[in-house]
Copies of this chain bind each other. A is one copy, B any other.
Amino acid sequence: MSQRKASGDSGRATIRDVAQRAGVSVASVSRVLSGNYPVSDELRRRVMKVVRDLDYVTNAHARSLAGGGTPTVAILINNITGAAFTHVAKGVESAASLRGWLTLVGTTGDDPERELALVNLMRQQGVAAVILLGGAYDYDEYQLRMARFARSLDAADSHLVLVGRPPLEGEVPATTVDYDNEGGAYAMASHLLSAGHRRVLVLPGHAELTTAQGRLKGAQRAFEAYGVPLDPGMVRHGPYDYEHGYDAVEESLRQGAAFTAVLAGTDVVAAGAAQALRAAGLRVPEDVSVVGYDDIPLASQLTPQLTTVHVPYEEMGRAALRAVADRRESGRRRVGDADHLVLGTHVVVRQSVRPPSQ
């Protein structure tokens, strides 16, 4: 019944099927296909004909077991739906495919268990690198956890790459591709301050998220630089989503908070904030200015177009992959050897900021 290997009938054709049918050795078929070895035209013709007839493709698993194999990188995201992450992923994928590499994607849903499981799964796959995207929750064990990931991957000839979060402390075999998060926030807040705003509602994000921490710190530094006190009551933490932006503004308004501008942690939060302002009969930017962070497409599609901080997400993705590829080519480097890359950010001035009216 289940006569396996009856005649290359069921399942995929193997290199042996091709060899047999072409009347040559498997070694020859392998040579023709990899193309990195001198082969007679006659042989090549014979083999390729059969390859086409059988619609043969080599078994990637066997190949990578035997030596060769397509390098693969894994990218782990919290939520594939986030526009910012999506652009990093695009950068990684495009740079990978440019080199003929494959990209695996896994989503963690902010679940440490799942993150661990995925890192191990990727290790099993023998990926060239695991790229972790997005800000991290800075809980106690975080550093240890990441250090463990890094060492595990390193021991398996793989590599850990952190994108969009601060580098790890100590001598850990990991690469970080980050952006000037705090600097961007500093510039954005300064933009608001120099326009004359003094009372601004700040929505940095979750207090434990590294990106939110950086953005808040940048804003605080700007306020200090301008000698303007930043009322702690004007800082509201919450998730990076539309609802949070909306709710935070609505609530502040209800509590009678007086502010002439909103400094949001992301463009999506800014969108929610703007909507809440409008719902309260306030005009943006005539009555209240609103700024975001990230510069995702949404920012320029809103009305008014959002003034925000541009983060080179796609470029970060490309940089991450380049770092991995370089490291492969030039043999592994020593720990701590230029493992940290920081890309610049800058304010994109659009239409959502005006000097305070009164």
Contact = CB atoms under 8 A, between A and B. Distances in A.
Given A81-B86, A124-B60, A103 B106 contact: yes
Interface of A: 10-12, 55, 57-65, 69-70, 79-81, 83, 86-87, 89-90, 93-94, 97, 102-107, 114, 120-121, 123-126, 152, 155-157, 242, 268, 271-272, 274-275, 278, 297-298, 300-303
Question: Which of A105, A156, A272 has the most chain B CB within a 10 Å cutoff?
Answer: A105
Contacts of A302: 301-303
B59 A11 contact: no
A306 to B, nearest CB: 12
Given A81-B90, A87-B81, A156-B11, A124 B297 contact: no
Contacts of A155: 12, 55
The list of the 7 closest CB pairs from A to B, nearest first, reads A60-B124, A61-B61, A12-B156, A105-B105, A61-B64, A61-B65, A57-B124
A161 to B, nearest CB: 17
A203 to B, nearest CB: 16
Contacts of A157: 10-12
B65 A93 contact: no
B278 A301 contact: no
Chain B CB count within 10 A is highest, among A80, A242, A302, for A80
B86 A80 contact: yes
Contacts of A104: 102-105
A120 B12 CA distance: 12
Contacts of A152: 55
A90 B89 CA distance: 14
A92 to B, nearest CB: 10
Given A298-B298, A301-B271, A303-B303, A69 B61 contact: yes
Contacts of A268: 301
A57 B120 contact: yes
Contacts of A79: 90
Contacts of A87: 81
A124 to B, nearest CB: 4
Contact of A121 (B12, B102, B124): B102
B125 A60 contact: yes
Contacts of A81: 83, 86-87, 90
Given A103-B105, A301-B268, A124 B90 contact: no
Contacts of A102: 104, 106, 121, 125
Contacts of A120: 57
Nearest to A62: B65
Contacts of A58: 124
A214 B240 CA distance: 36
